[in-house]
Chains A and B, each alone.
Chain A
Amino acid sequence: MTVSQISVFANSRPGHMSRVLALFEEAGVSVRGFSAADTGEYGILRFVVDRPEAALATLKEAGCACTVTPVLCLKLEDTPGELLRVIGVLARCGINVVYCYSMISTYIVLSVTDTEQARDLLAAEPVEMISQDDIARYIAERDGKEA
Chain B
Amino acid sequence: MVDAANFDVTAKGGALAAAAAGRFDALPVYKPEIECASREEIRAVQLAKLKETVAYAYERVPYYREKMDEMGVAPADIQTLDDVCRLPFTDKAVLRDTFPFGLFAVPMNEIRELHSSSGTTGKPVVVGYTEDDMDMWSECIARLVQMAGVVPGDVAQMAFGYGMFTGGFGLHYGLQRLGCAMIPAGSGNTERHIQMIEDYGTTVLVATPSYAMHICEVGEAMGYDWGASPLRVGLFGGEPCPPGLKAEIERRMHIVCTDNYGLTEVMGPGVSGECLAERFQQHIAEDHFLWEVVDPVTGEPVGEGEVGELVLTPLGKQGIPVLRYRTHDLTAVHTEPCACGRTLARMDKVRSRSDDMLIIRGTNVFPSQIEDVLTGIEEVTPHYHIIVRTKGGMDELVVETELRPEAFSDSFESMDALRARIVEKLKSTLLVAPTVRLVEPGGIERAVGKAKHVDDQRVK
Q: Is A118 an interface residue (CB 8 A)?
A: no
Taking a contact as CB atoms closer than 8 A, the residue among B217, B409, B437, B440 that contacts A64 in the complex is B440
From known contacts A42-B415, A60-B405, A61-B221, infer whether A67 and B439 are also in contact, taking CB-CB under 8 Å: no
CB contacts under 8 Å to A, within B206-254, are 217, 221
Q: Is the CB of B221 within 8 A of A66?
A: no
Q: Is the CB of A69 within 8 A of B410?
A: yes
CB contacts under 8 Å to B, within A1-34, are 5, 7, 9-11, 16
CA distance A43 to B439 in the complex (A): 10
Main secondary structure of the interface of B (DSSP, over half): mixed
Q: Is the CB of A42 within 8 A of B410?
A: no
Q: Is the CB of B437 within 8 A of A41?
A: yes
Main secondary structure of the interface of A (DSSP, over half): strand
CB contacts under 8 Å to B, within A44-72, are 44, 46, 60-61, 63-67, 69
- Per the CB 8 Å criterion, the residue count for chain B at the interface is 20
Q: Is the CB of A67 within 8 A of B408?
A: yes
Q: Is B19 an interface residue (CB 8 A)?
A: no
Shortest distance between the CB of B154 and any CB in chain A (Å):
32
Q: Is B438 an interface residue (CB 8 A)?
A: yes
What is the 8 Å Cβ interface bit string for chain B, positions 51-78, against chain A (1 contact, 0 not)?
A: 0000000000000000000000000000
Shortest distance between the CB of B277 and any CB in chain A (Å):
36
Q: Is B403 an interface residue (CB 8 A)?
A: yes
Q: Is the CB of A7 within 8 A of B410?
A: yes
Q: Is B407 an interface residue (CB 8 A)?
A: yes
Query: Using Cβ atoms and an 8 Å threshold, which residues of chain B touch A65?
Result: 403-405, 407-408, 440-441
Query: Using Cβ atoms and an 8 Å threshold, which residues of chain B touch A46?
Result: 410
What is the 8 Å Cβ interface bit string for chain B, positions 389-421, against chain A (1 contact, 0 not)?
A: 000000000000001110111111001100000
Q: Is A39 an interface residue (CB 8 A)?
A: yes
Q: Is the CB of A44 within 8 A of B412?
A: yes
Taking a contact as CB atoms closer than 8 A, the residue among A7, A37, A41, A64 that contacts B405 in the complex is A64
Shortest distance between the CB of A91 and any CB in chain B (Å):
21
CA distance A64 to B221 in the complex (A): 12
Q: Is the CB of A67 within 8 A of B409?
A: yes
Q: Is the CB of B405 within 8 A of A63?
A: yes
Query: Using Cβ atoms and an 8 Å threshold, which residues of chain B touch A61?
Result: 221
Pick 14 A–B contacts, CB within 8 A, sort by A.
Answer: A9-B415, A11-B439, A37-B412, A42-B439, A44-B410, A63-B217, A63-B441, A64-B440, A64-B441, A65-B403, A65-B404, A65-B408, A65-B440, A66-B405
